[in-house]
Structure 1
Amino acid sequence: MAPIRPRLVLALAALMVGTLMAAPTRADAPPPADHAITVTPGRPGPAIAPTMYGVFFEDINNAADGGLYAELVQNRSFEFGPADNRTYTPLTAWQQTATGGATGTLQVVDDAERLNTRNRNHLRLALAGTGSGAARFGIVNSGYGAGMALREGARHDFSVWARTDAAAGTPLTVELRTADGTAVSAPLGITVRGDRWTKYTGTLTSRLTTTSGRLAVTAAGSGTLRLDMVSLFPRDTYKGRPNGLREDLAEKIAALKPGFLRFPGGCLVNTGSHQAYEAPNWERRRSYQWKDTIGPVEQRAVNANFWGYHQSYGLGYYEYFQFAEDIGAMPLPVVPALVTGCGENKVTDDPALLERHIQDTLDLIEFANGPVTSEWGRKRAAMGHPKPFGLTHLGVGNEENLPDAFFTRFTAFREAIAARYPDITVIGNSGPDDSGSVFDRAWQLSRQAGVAMVDEHYYNSPQWFLENNHRYDAYDRHGPKVFLGEYASRDNRFHNALSEAAFMTGLERNADVVRLASYAPLLADVDHTQWRPDMIWFDNHRSWGSTSYEVQKLFMNNTGDRVVPSRATTTPAVSGPITGAVGLSTWATSAAYDDVEVTAADGTALLKDDFSAGDTRWTRTAGRGDWAVRDGAFVQADTAAEDTLVTAGDTGWHDYDLRLKATKKSGREGFLIAFGVRDTGNHYWWNLGGWNNTRSAVEEAVDGGKETLTENGTTIETGRTYDIHVRVRGRQVTLYLDGREWGRFTDDKAAEPFRQVVTRDKGDLVVKVVNAQATPARTRIDLGTAKVAPTARLTTLTGAPDAVNTADDQPVRPRASTLRGVAKEFTYTFPAHSVTFMRIRAG
């Protein structure tokens, strides 16, 4: 995409009124670009639902265990194993410890003496009774990450389930330690008595502050001691709730003032087996099923996490509902539809299993809303919440790539829910992308069936968000409403946040169509991250908001209740041809390329390579793939390597034809044919046989973030040679496969850096302006009303486009100020790279 050039118009300095609190401009800075905003307050705009913006929680990036869930002990019930992560064992995070010459053995067992059938493993200690009077043998837990974060004077609630065959009982000593073994709390003494499982509790107070704390549990004497559910919680959980949430993370979420809380996923919802956790099926890769996650924590099933670690389910459906209530958010759970997504793409054809999941969903609604006299309402009351949670919305399915199979099952859920709970809004979805064949078919089925709301998901480049502000302008005002359940620009720099802010002005302008929206993912452990970008980052003792968090908070705290119609001048983009070199790549696939030719539009040869002279004309990216000339072709042989791009040619090339032959040798996918390559993060590529060889598409990469421009369901056969032709003319591209036109597109959308929306919040007009360009935006503002207060409250986010908020430095933070000289018409200069909210009292 060509760079953006500011529009040049006559200066509007003569229209300036009063003293404006604009940021000063450096003498060597470029002159301001001139804009105008015209507000029409007398014409009603769409109402904005109080639930417009919310948060989406998924247990990704250690967001639950080791994150929002305040439990400090990792692997508290000794259930970790290779099913969760190939590096895990039942003693992950545990170490043996001994003092005073004590000896013994440790063994994690699953036998008839287990705590219960859903918590199968426990730790058996064979105590030898050796050593001095102070001899102790036992275990130490290292917590998550660097250790347990302990604060001087802070109290911690300890609990353990234990039993012993020692007739006189087994004395336990529990204490907090540093990493080197130094005790940092007074010892807690507990005597385990009897060979029946019993819960023991106590309190530990740290004597110092450390981020590498440990929990030690040691025993004296001899005999067999069994331990399970070894737990340590800070007393200061969010709102003081037992089995509660980490206070600083919960407070940052609450500070957003979210209108809804979507949970528990995400890919967690619909991946893995849909079978129940019951004998003889002790499956550890099941879809997320809500009944596994309620009741006493020691009786909850565990599960392997889709994102490569373990789920204890200590943070379960009851805790999600409770948290939503605590922060004033509408609960919005999502249940599996028996069609897997997120790359699995499998359909479960089992009518009895489908019926069981539908009944589970009906039971979920009863759990949330039923009276205490109902079966599941009684279970909710037994957990401590007699009052119903007030569930009104429920999602079925998540990012299914098989729209027809999904919709058949979705319809069965929807009809059953409507028959029993007609007031519940049942939400469908449109797959994992913003466009394409899956998206179109899913929306077609939803429109035809009169579905109330469709959940859209997309993660794209900043360029895409700047280009697509008007995405929802053309949506059917009488069709299904949109729940934008997951979206983000692919990075965490301020430039990404600015592009998201620009896009959000379009969401608000279309509040009659886009009824719910949530950035995703919400949380990320800085040391254990499966996905980026993320909104809130944390380690074991600190948390901080990304630049996108600051944007989301600004919009969510100043939404308003109605859109006020307004319009603004635009900045036209420079139009020019697609330029760049060519490239070859693979993704988890071995492929051979040959007879590569690039010719200019006039027939001039730019590149011709049959690899008979080697591969010297191609530039590799270090560490990506195993490229070599083999049997007269250029071959990438590593089937595990991803994004193996090699390039040739000139970045100034334009209006050319790229032809080549490609053969898949082995692996999961097909070919990646690149053109318009400016560097490894900025290019187009034709992804043939992508997404585990389920479909094909052209993607544009801008600074590493990708968006889909056109696609279809083409798959690639192993061993077959394909003739590939890419024709680039101006900004139009036509693609041919084996001599037939495969598809075409024109990449000519303007990336508008100046966006605005105006809303009414009770008696205030809130003028929200995003200036994502490097030039200040001198703007004439016409409020369209004679009665306005002479001052306005400003909240501004500014920063360098590459700025990133970190634990030690948050350069992008809101700045409050007062703007004087406000009138019906006035001029204000919005800083370069800024988001500004101007709150004006208007009559």
Structure 2
Amino acid sequence: MSRTARHRTRRRAVLTGAALLTAAVLLPVPAHAESVADYTVTVDTGARGPAVDDTMYGVFFEDINRAADGGLYAELVQNRSFEYSTADNGSYTPLTSWSVSGTAEVVNDSGRLNERNRNYASLAAGSSVTNSGYNTGVRVEKGERYDFSVWARAEAGATLTVTLKDAAGTLADTRKVAVRGGWTQYKATFTASRTSNRGRLTVATAADAALDMVSLFPRETYKNQPNGLRKDLAEKIAALKPGFLRFPGGCLVNTGSMEDYSEASGWQRKRAYQWKDTVGPVEERATNANFWGYNQSYGLGYYEYFRFAEDIGAMPLPVVPALVTGCGQNRATDDEALLKRHIQDTLDLIEFANGPTTSTWGGLRAEMGHPRPFHLTHIAVGNEENLPREFFSRFQRFRAAVEAEHPDITVISNSGPDDAGTVFDTAWQLNREGGVDMVDEHYYNSPQWFLRNNDRYDSYDRQGPKVFLGEYASQGNAWRNALAEAAYMTGLERNADVVKLASYAPLLANEDYVQWSPDMIWFNNHASWGSVNYEVQKLFMTNVGDRVVPSEASTTPDAGGPLTGAVGLSTWATSAAYDDVSVTAADGTTLLSDDFSGDASQWTHSGRGSWGVQDGQYVQTDEAAENTLVTAGDPAWHDYDLQVKATKRSGKEGFLIAFGVQDTGTYYWWNLGGWNNTQSAVEQAVDGGKSTLISKPGSIETGRAYDIEIKVRGRQVTLYLDGQEWGRFTDDKPAEPFRQVVTEDTRTGDLIVKVVNAQPSEARTAIDLGGARVSSRARVTTLAADADAVNTETDAPVTQVTSTFRGVADRFTYAFAPHSVTFMRIDRR
């Protein structure tokens, strides 16, 4: 998961002659001519485009937004083993999510359940502990069965009374469990007498007892698998028919300590994700501090991931750490023994997935209930490393070891956290020179970026490494975001010979525990719903086709014009001072001049941060505040020079100089010393979503005054730092709202015409099928809504609408609705 971004001739298609007559016959004439745009789509049905693999689209699961515990993993008890810690989250204690009646404490001593499960609850006679579950409580449904289990110890014997209640009363009959002797697992079953989202599970003891691994599981999990998955979430994922399942991350793969659990390390909790921690008996698996700020139990581990992939018919694609951290940590180990151990762990993982039952790790897989191999064919090493050379030298060691023992396994590299920049370019150069089979790209950009970059992969080397687009999204869950992603996906399919795998990210989000948004599927403890982005992914993933049929479409006239906007100053988790701001028009006219010898009345404050004039400088003093943008000038300004002196006073980063400012969500800024003061970039924000246009490594010194100059001419921008040119770009690539791709389903013979119209006007389109003999009827599936539409738990304005269109011919006309994605399945005779 990343934390951070272009010209074509355009012409209007004109409907004439027979095409116009057909349009008049088939379509109503809109009342307002400006609400219609005319296009053409020409399909070369006699040509063969690239084959589209069955694994083209998949899903990426990361334990972010509580996607595992409290999410896909069906366990209903939070902090079931009393292992929560301030190392996981500053607000946590071992009794987080538990309330105590009487006397109970969490103990970590030699009487523990095992060496990986170190904490347990010690209850005095007459005491109880009550668990509040996730979200509003423990969810139960009337008539459904729930399996309770607990590991307990009571040397003198004790009876546990287990109840399931909410504020209104009992939710199921009480269960009694007799405990005697050392640690033993005890079980009971509840049948819910009514439905509740606010249940509480209580375990009371009549005598002194110790408890660990207190669990409540719905009997009905996805495909009724033990230690299984929450059914509604798993079914929504399965409905996508994913070709692959990438797991378990993401940033949590290659962040944290690389050391082992041990007494010497204080049983280190912030440990990088390692697959061996997550297999074997559930009670013997470790818990860990999740990178995203909470505890992860590893109840959902590598065995369950492999099993889920098999259950949904997806290729398993695990990601292992490369001993170079990413996601802002930027460390590389020089511990040779540790590197060798992780390489061996990767070989052991392949044995766990594919090895015979007579092997060590294949034997463990069989003991866990799956003697058959999982047929692992791909494995990724690393995730979003910002140190490309350090990463690649270690990647080569992993790849060589895997290929020596398993030459049939594809080992996937990556290109860092962004779609462009120095890290990206260096990583790709190393991957090409190293003959890598596949490279994992990640990027999160604005909808405009996706509309502008449909041709991104058109120019990629067809003989070079293939692309795994492992993470992408357009920074929002509104319909405008999903439309931009849909338009971009037509380019992915057109380049299916280069882009072999692609997955939107993140997959899941619990609405009450969000670290990252947007997300594909949202949920709480009782319901789940697909975002509008999910609906786009589902439409594409279930209508892929087997081969691209070459096609062309006309484009939308571009209004053009110079880059316009006011100017601005900002900070991000940093205190900075600004002075001597001037904006001069190209003809020498002074548009703005401020040396802050008086007040700052020319500047408009966004409300974030603490701005004030101090000693003749404009100073932002709040080190915690992010995006403290203040602006000055006219949004209509164009062709100007912006000059300013900037000084970092303290904090994590540098400073940000904005230009082309239309409002607080739409602007450009030069981000100097961003990403924890490791790189600088020019970013473009459109409606709050940002894309990176230029990126270079670099940091900003505290206390040093920098001279900054930005020249805007037309749509070209040149940036100077202390009198030296730092970079330049021309922002004149249009954001094309009308995109198409055509594929063929060889099983059915269907042509699948896929059209995205991401604009508020109807797209009246003349479609030429190139002489193909086709049925006169097409099955049409449409997604359409207002640009701001969002799917929620109670309202889904974006859902598939199916219809039949009876006007198909070799040449015909169709009106694509405003803000729509339309798939037409046309039967070739």
For residues 189 and 30 of structure 1, the distance between their equivalents in structure 2, rounded to whole angstroms, comes to 73
The answer for unaligned runs of 5 or more in structure 1 is 98-103, 128-135
For residues 393 and 780 of structure 2, the distance between their equivalents in structure 1, rounded to whole angstroms, comes to 50
The answer for unaligned runs of 5 or more in structure 2 is 1-5
Amino acid at match of 2:180: R
Residues 18, 821 of structure 1: 8 Å contact kept: no
**Deviation string for 1:395-427 (max 9, x for gaps)?**
000000010000011111011111111110000
Residues 175, 204 of structure 1: 8 Å contact kept: no
Q: CA deviation at 1:17?
A: 8.1
Question: Given the alignment of the two structures, is residue 826 of structure 1 paired with residue 816 of structure 2, yes or no?
Answer: no
For residues 304 and 254 of structure 2, the distance between their equivalents in structure 1, rounded to whole angstroms, comes to 21
For residues 786 and 463 of structure 1, the distance between their equivalents in structure 2, rounded to whole angstroms, comes to 35
Q: Which residue of 448, 452, 455 corresponds with 1:467?
A: 452
Q: What is the percent sequence identity of the aligned residues?
A: 68
Q: CA deviation at 1:6?
A: 9.9
Q: CA deviation at 1:179?
A: 3.7
Amino acid at match of 1:111: D
Q: CA deviation at 1:19?
A: 9.8
1:545 paired residue number? 530
Residues 30, 36 of structure 2: 8 Å contact kept: no
1:120 paired residue number? 118
- SS at 1:197 equivalent: strand
Q: Which residue of 105, 110, 129 corresponds with 2:108?
A: 110
**Deviation string for 1:565-617 (max 9, x for gaps)?**
11111113221111111000011111110011111111111111111111111
Q: CA deviation at 1:5?
A: 14
1:771 paired residue number? 757
Q: CA deviation at 1:31?
A: 3.6
2:3 paired residue number? none
Q: Which residue of 191, 208, 223 corresponds with 1:205?
A: 191
Q: Within 5 A, what are the aligned runs for 1:506-521?
A: 506-521=491-506
Q: Within 5 A, what are the aligned runs for 1:641-680?
A: 641-680=625-664
Q: Which residue of 382, 386, 389 corresponds with 2:371?
A: 386
When the two structures are superposed, what TM-score results if normalisation uses the length of structure 2?
Answer: 0.97
**Deviation string for 1:209-254 (max 9, x for gaps)?**
111111111112x3x2000000000111000011100000000000
Residues 270, 287 of structure 1: 8 Å contact kept: yes
Amino acid at match of 2:164: L
Residues 694, 714 of structure 1: 8 Å contact kept: yes
Q: Which residue of 683, 686, 694 corresponds with 1:702?
A: 686
Residues 12, 555 of structure 2: 8 Å contact kept: no
Residues 16, 826 of structure 1: 8 Å contact kept: no
**Greater shift after overlay, 7-16 or 273-282?**
7-16
For residues 319 and 726 of structure 2, the distance between their equivalents in structure 1, rounded to whole angstroms, comes to 37
- SS at 1:471 equivalent: coil
Residues 544, 805 of structure 1: 8 Å contact kept: yes
For residues 662 and 369 of structure 2, the distance between their equivalents in structure 1, rounded to whole angstroms, comes to 59
For residues 88 and 124 of structure 2, the distance between their equivalents in structure 1, rounded to whole angstroms, comes to 28
Amino acid at match of 1:69: Y
Residues 238, 250 of structure 1: 8 Å contact kept: yes
Residues 670, 688 of structure 1: 8 Å contact kept: yes
**Deviation string for 1:523-577 (max 9, x for gaps)?**
0011111111100000111000001100000000000110011111111322111
For residues 23 and 80 of structure 1, the distance between their equivalents in structure 2, rounded to whole angstroms, comes to 62
Q: Aligned pair in 2 of structure 1 residues 33, 18: CA closer, same or farther (>3 Å)?
A: closer
1:93 paired residue number? 97
For residues 241 and 418 of structure 1, the distance between their equivalents in structure 2, rounded to whole angstroms, comes to 34
Amino acid at match of 2:658: A
For residues 732 and 16 of structure 1, the distance between their equivalents in structure 2, rounded to whole angstroms, comes to 40
1:744 paired residue number? 728
**Deviation string for 1:772-820 (max 9, x for gaps)?**
1111111111112341111010000000000000001000000000010
Q: Aligned pair in 2 of structure 1 residues 171, 21: CA closer, same or farther (>3 Å)?
A: farther
For residues 745 and 468 of structure 2, the distance between their equivalents in structure 1, rounded to whole angstroms, comes to 22
For residues 529 and 6 of structure 1, the distance between their equivalents in structure 2, rounded to whole angstroms, comes to 41
**Deviation string for 1:663-718 (max 9, x for gaps)?**
11111110100000011110000000111111101000011111111122221111
- SS at 1:414 equivalent: helix
Residues 19, 820 of structure 1: 8 Å contact kept: no
Q: Which residue of 170, 176, 179 corresponds with 1:192?
A: 179
For residues 443 and 502 of structure 2, the distance between their equivalents in structure 1, rounded to whole angstroms, comes to 12
Q: Which residue of 207, 212, 221 corresponds with 1:237?
A: 221
1:132 paired residue number? none
2:162 paired residue number? 174
Question: Given the alignment of the two structures, is residue 559 of structure 1 paired with residue 557 of structure 2, yes or no?
Answer: no
Residues 59, 503 of structure 2: 8 Å contact kept: yes
**Greater shift after overlay, 610-619 or 390-399?**
610-619
Q: Which residue of 581, 592, 596 corresponds with 2:577?
A: 592
For residues 30 and 77 of structure 1, the distance between their equivalents in structure 2, rounded to whole angstroms, comes to 64
Q: CA deviation at 1:20?
A: 11
**Deviation string for 1:163-197 (max 9, x for gaps)?**
1132xx211111211046x2211111111111x10
Residues 481, 514 of structure 1: 8 Å contact kept: yes
Question: Given the alignment of the two structures, is residue 154 of structure 1 paired with residue 144 of structure 2, yes or no?
Answer: yes
Q: Aligned pair in 2 of structure 1 residues 842, 664: CA closer, same or farther (>3 Å)?
A: same
Runs of 4+ in 1 over 3 A off after TM superposition: 4-14, 16-31
1:15 paired residue number? 19
Amino acid at match of 1:460: N
Question: Given the alignment of the two structures, is residue 803 of structure 1 paired with residue 789 of structure 2, yes or no?
Answer: yes
Q: Within 5 A, what are the aligned runs for 1:228-627?
A: 228-281=212-265, 282-622=267-607, 624-627=608-611
For residues 527 and 353 of structure 1, the distance between their equivalents in structure 2, rounded to whole angstroms, comes to 38
Residues 789, 797 of structure 2: 8 Å contact kept: yes
Q: Aligned pair in 2 of structure 1 residues 368, 752: CA closer, same or farther (>3 Å)?
A: same
Q: CA deviation at 1:459?
A: 0.3
Amino acid at match of 1:190: V
Residues 277, 286 of structure 2: 8 Å contact kept: yes
Amino acid at match of 2:672: L
Residues 22, 829 of structure 1: 8 Å contact kept: no
Q: CA deviation at 1:278?
A: 3.0
**Deviation string for 1:628-655 (max 9, x for gaps)?**
1112111111111111101111111111
Q: Which residue of 120, 138, 142 corresponds with 2:132?
A: 142
For residues 840 and 444 of structure 1, the distance between their equivalents in structure 2, rounded to whole angstroms, comes to 43
**Deviation string for 1:64-98 (max 9, x for gaps)?**
0000000000000000010111111100011123x
Amino acid at match of 2:74: A
Residues 159, 201 of structure 1: 8 Å contact kept: yes
Residues 59, 504 of structure 2: 8 Å contact kept: yes
**Deviation string for 1:485-544 (max 9, x for gaps)?**
000001000000000000000000000000000000000011111111100000111000
Q: CA deviation at 1:206?
A: 1.0
Residues 579, 677 of structure 1: 8 Å contact kept: yes
Residues 727, 735 of structure 1: 8 Å contact kept: yes
Amino acid at match of 2:271: R
For residues 210 and 24 of structure 1, the distance between their equivalents in structure 2, rounded to whole angstroms, comes to 51
Q: CA deviation at 1:461?
A: 0.3
For residues 650 and 334 of structure 2, the distance between their equivalents in structure 1, rounded to whole angstroms, comes to 30
1:227 paired residue number? 211
Q: CA deviation at 1:341?
A: 0.5
Amino acid at match of 2:826: I
- SS at 1:360 equivalent: helix
For residues 23 and 571 of structure 2, the distance between their equivalents in structure 1, rounded to whole angstroms, comes to 59
When the two structures are superposed, what TM-score results if normalisation uses the length of structure 1?
Answer: 0.96
For residues 201 and 74 of structure 1, the distance between their equivalents in structure 2, rounded to whole angstroms, comes to 18
Q: CA deviation at 1:280?
A: 2.5
Q: CA deviation at 1:148?
A: 1.2
Q: CA deviation at 1:15?
A: 2.2
